[in-house]
Amino acid sequence: MKAVIDTNVLVSALWRPGGAPARVIEAVYAGTIEPVVSDDLLAEYRAVLTRRELRLPRDSVNEMLRFFAAFLLPLPPAVSPYPCPHAPDKRVLDAALSGGAEVLVTGNLKHFPSRVPGLSIMSPRHLADLLDTTPRGE
């Protein structure tokens, strides 16, 4: 499954290792989810995860950034007819559309259009629950 992981999911995964966002990231590390990463998205990951005020574990942040950088794709800019209620998240939607993602996972569902053909926009909890009920190998 190809998925764009919104930055807030990465932050939450680092804050709460046992939570649904962490389960999503574990699935990425295990290869169950193939992350779609654009230049803009990787830059956002870097800018947010390294903020001092978040006090995220530096080693975990560096490991996460290196891992996601390995999936960086030279994606053409998407010309999406779908406006985002939260304009800065347009880069996340654009990465999903340009990279052929099946899923966009975010903790901020209200920041995205309610429907985008060919793309499921879901919360980390929803995706983690789906992963928990999907037989291995599918």
Residues 103-137 pLDDT 10s: 999 999 999 999 999 999 999 999 999 998 766 55
The three-point CA angle 17-39-123 to 5° equals 40
Domains and CATH numbers, the chain: 2-133 (3.40.50.1010)
Question: pTM surpassing 0.85?
Answer: yes
* Whether the Cβ atoms of residue 91 and residue 38 lie closer than 8 Å to each other: yes
Q: Are strands 103-105 and 2-5 parallel, antiparallel or unpaired?
A: parallel
Span 59-94, pLDDT tens digits: 999 999 999 999 998 887 766 788 888 888 999 999
